A and B are shown apart, each in its own frame.
With several copies, the nearest count.
Chain A
Amino acid sequence: MVVPRPGAWRWFGVFAFAFLIFTQTLAILTSPPDRDMGDLEKILYVHVPAAWITFLSFFVVLAFSARYLWKGREKDDLLAAAAAEVGATFNGLTLLLGMIWGRPAWGVWWTWDARLTSTLVLFLIFVGYLALREFVDDAQRRAQWSAVVGALGAINVPIVYMSVRWWRTLHQIQSNPNTMDPAYVLGLRANAFAFLFIMIYFIHQRYVIASLQRATEHAAEAVALGGQQE
């Protein structure tokens, strides 16, 4: 197994965070206060990118899980696990930011609306995924099982996405650049890219850590099996 090396990636990480600070400042400074919510609107630039990145991460889980089941390569399992961790983190962030937003905007921390609940359920599904990885000791079994659970879990992403359309929700429906004030569009897009870079950086870092652990094990293998004739 090839161990990925840092180097360029360190600079990518620095860049991703610098870019995030830049886009956040830009969005907060340029966007006008919302006519209903006033400055509360500014949470938009973290809440919505976090939600998008959640979806994207779980899609990455699906892709690598499927490839693991097909090809059986350890690398894919490690990548899927890294993406799941990052996805669950952003999922939690979406919930938390949504709740912080909901308190002043709707007057409640929580309500049982389809969007909110389905987001919470998605979070719980991947908490289950991570718990499963925790509980299985055998590496091959862990990889195999979590690939299946991860792929099945990712089926729920479209449900969360569509929940605002399928059910009447308090949460607002997706907008698109046409229905949105252009003043917000740029800030949102820029921040979405900043989050994307951070996601890539995080997934990569988690993957590197896991690979390094594996590499030590493989090194031990060489020692353990070394020196045999025949």
Chain B
Amino acid sequence: MTWNEDWGRISAIARKDLITERRSKAGFNSVAALGVTMLVLFGFAFGPDAQALRDAAAGALWLAILFAGVLAFNRSYQVELESGALDELLQYPGARWTIYAGKLISNLIFVSLMLAIVVAAGIVLFQIHIPSAWPMLLVTLLLGIVGLVTLGTFYAAMASRTRAREVLLPLLLFPMLVPVLLAAMSASKALLGGDLMHEASAWIRLLLGYDVIFLVAALFAFEHVIEV
């Protein structure tokens, strides 16, 4: 009941998920490679014109992260479903939002690491010039993945327990994420282009608003989702 106990649960879940993730996916190497592969595919699809590629860079980066992220979200609950661990998890007393919070943390760490690799590859592949306002770019990236992971972890709690998880998760998640993605892409694009119109900060504020609203909503709603 106390904050201390809750934190114990949150960190136990996050740690368990990260260990599982590390052991079951042979490190981040494969995820890194997958991110890069996606970027290469986007390069094929929308290249080879250098300017067109540079215009598409922000979009390609975010889509690569999104598609790879969906894999992680579903996976994070599937581990619970194998051999009935979810029933066991629900048997522990205490507040249910801690389960969400734990998974949120592990997914955030996972997706951040993936992002770092994908961005590094993207800079090379799409010939991105790092803008002088790179701290802002970093903030954009972080806020973007917070939004992505908040909603992804939440919807995966439902989708992964249905018969159609592979289809249902993107179906529920992608439309809800459109504002986050749009804001993240637009802000990134503006910053990469030198932010001549000073529009980046408006997008970043929008992003922040989204993150906060959905994080709070998800923490409250999670109980209803996991309980039944």
Contact = CB atoms under 8 A, between A and B. Distances in A.
Contact of B33 (A108, A128, A140, A141): A128
Contacts of A49: none
Interface of B: 26, 29-30, 33, 36-37, 40, 43-44, 47-48, 50, 53, 124-125, 127, 155, 158, 162-164, 168, 171-172, 174-176, 178-179, 213-214, 217, 221, 224-225, 227-228
Nearest to A149: B172
Interface stretch (A27-35, A53-61, A118-126): A118-126
Contacts of B158: 132, 145, 148-149
A125 B175 contact: yes
Contact of B50 (A111, A136, A147): A111
A205 interface: no
B163 A135 contact: yes
A interface majority secondary structure: helix
6 interchain residue pairs of minimum CB distance: A112-B48, A124-B175, A112-B47, A135-B162, A141-B228, A125-B175
B interface majority secondary structure: helix
A110 B227 contact: no
B212 to A, nearest CB: 13
A152 B171 contact: no
Given A135-B168, A153-B176, A110 B124 contact: yes
A152 B217 contact: yes
Interface in A117-160: 117, 120-122, 124-125, 127-128, 131-132, 134-136, 138, 140-141, 144-145, 147-149, 151-153, 155-156, 159
13 contacts: A69-B224, A108-B127, A110-B125, A111-B50, A117-B44, A124-B175, A125-B176, A135-B162, A141-B228, A148-B221, A152-B221, A155-B213, A159-B179
Contact of A127 (B33, B43, B53, B221): B33
A149 B176 CA distance: 10
Given A99-B124, A149-B158, A135 B225 contact: no
A136 to B, nearest CB: 6
A39 interface: no
A113 interface: yes
A144 B176 CA distance: 19
Given A112-B53, A135-B168, A149-B158, A128 B228 contact: no
